[in-house]
């Protein structure tokens, strides 16, 4: 082998070898699947109007860059990746400029507007969950081509997958339109969503992932857009029907994860539930404890209905988003996401020790 060729191989292989052995934890990478709560900008690269790659989104992100995150700054998976010591920001998989280092340490396949129900994604022309799974299959092939099958298997086995989805299935789909209601009542629709969730987990397991964090639904009835759509303009009270649907789904999801874990532990796998409902409810009900002042409307525009293109460059924006639990009428602010994410540290430590 010529000396120049050796140097080329060294400069390519050495950084990858370092990435296979992260210093801060035994977690090699983070892979993300789901909706706008964890989409860092994949929708920038598809033909949909459901985007946020424009101001005022990203106003408090480094360099004030509107990346496509539905927030004024970071989103939960950025905080999780940072806590794990993997990277500060999880990039979107569809960004073709990503380096091998970016790919190795993890990416997000999530798409704002999607759901466990394929019809939910079709409504917004975004990426269905089965397609996110196919993107991960494609991603795995890229790793195999770069480092070989055995190293890829080890790398993915030592990774963690974060899944956050389901809110759009109820808010954008089931409660908003009559189509699914003709076939399902709320209870049977929950089971339909859970069947699709199980298929996603099985697909990721077959591709080598052994560690999963699965987020539950938020208190959907307390989202400003939901409150407004139910004509609660004055009282601004949470809509109990929506929040009840979230609690019931979360309980079914937890039961499902317990059953899965009983099987996973036989194969050194781990799957845990991340409670979003409780922490976000606490922020809304006890804002003074966290330094918040506004809990029933977002910082962007009127804060009652705006999200995505409705929260744009010409929208009025509050002066200090850190005082608001919500950034727009659907999505929490960066500071609210931070508090929700810190509540996950206990379960994340399980993966570090596992």
Residue at token pair 């033909």: 47
Asked whether 279 and 286 are in contact (CB, 8 A), the reply is: no
Q: Is 328 a catalytic residue?
A: yes
Q: What CA–CA distance (Å, rounded) separates 49 from 230?
A: 24
b/e burial code for range 28-49 (CB count within 10 A of at least 16 → b) = bbbbbbbbbbbbbbbbbbeebe
Tally Cβ neighbours within 10 Å of residue 208: 17
Q: What CA–CA distance (Å, rounded) separates 340 from 247?
A: 17
Q: Is 354 a catalytic residue?
A: no
Phi–psi pair at 30, nearest 5 degrees: -125, 130
Reading across the β-sheet that carries 270-274, which strands appear in turn? Answer: 30-34, 160-164, 211-215, 270-274
Q: What CA–CA distance (Å, rounded) separates 184 from 162?
A: 28
Q: What CA–CA distance (Å, rounded) separates 215 from 265?
A: 20
Asked whether 212 and 197 are in contact (CB, 8 A), the reply is: no
* 3-class DSSP assignment, residue 127: coil
Q: What CA–CA distance (Å, rounded) separates 169 from 196?
A: 12
Annotated catalytic residue, options 28, 35, 36, 296:
36
Q: Residue 86 burial by CB count (10 A; 0-12/13-18/19+): exposed, middle or buried? A: buried
Closest CA to 163 of 120, 98, 108: 108
Annotated catalytic residue, options 71, 331, 333, 341:
331
Annotated catalytic residue, options 108, 117, 328, 333:
328
Known catalytic residues are 36, 328, 331
């Amino acid at each position: 082998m010529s000396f120049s060729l050796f140097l080329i191989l060294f400069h390519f292989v050495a950084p990858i070898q370092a990435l296979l052995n992260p210093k801060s934890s035994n977690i090699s990478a983070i892979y993300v699947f789901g909706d706008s709560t964890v989409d860092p900008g994949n929708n920038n690269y598809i033909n949909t109007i459901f985007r946020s790659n424009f101001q005022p989104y990203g106003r408090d992100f480094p360099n004030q860059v509107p990346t496509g995150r539905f927030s004024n700054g970071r989103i939960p998976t950025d905080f999780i990746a940072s806590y794990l010591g993997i990277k500060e920001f999880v990039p979107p998989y569809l960004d073709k400029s990503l380096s091998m280092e970016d790919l190795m340490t993890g990416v997000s396949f999530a798409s704002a507007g999607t759901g466990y129900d394929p019809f939910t994604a079709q409504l917004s022309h975004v990426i269905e969950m089965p397609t996110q799974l196919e993107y991960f299959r494609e991603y795995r092939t890229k790793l195999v081509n770069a480092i070989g099958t055995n190293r890829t298997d080890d790398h993915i086995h030592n990774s963690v997958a974060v899944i956050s989805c389901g809110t759009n299935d109820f808010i954008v789909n089931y409660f908003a339109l009559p189509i699914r209601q003709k076939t399902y009542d709320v209870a049977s629709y929950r089971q339909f969503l859970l069947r699709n969730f199980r298929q996603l987990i099985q697909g990721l397991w077959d591709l080598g992932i052994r560690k999963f964090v699965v987020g539950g639904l938020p208190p959907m009835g307390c989202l400003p857009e939901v409150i407004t759509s139910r004509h609660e303009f004055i009282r601004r009270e949470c809509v109990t029907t929506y929040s009840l649907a979230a609690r019931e789904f979360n309980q079914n999801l937890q039961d499902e994860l317990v059953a899965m874990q009983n099987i996973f532990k036989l194969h050194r796998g781990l799957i845990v539930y991340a409670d979003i409902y409780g922490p976000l409810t606490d922020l809304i009900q006890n804002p003074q404890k966290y330094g918040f002042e506004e809990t029933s409307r977002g910082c962007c525009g009127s804060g009652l209905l705006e999200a995505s293109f409705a929260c744009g460059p010409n929208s009025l924006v509050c002066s200090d988003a850190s005082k608001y639990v919500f950034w727009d009428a659907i999505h929490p602010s960066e500071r609210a996401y931070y508090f929700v994410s810190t509540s996950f540290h206990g379960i994340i430590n399980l993966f570090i020790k596992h």
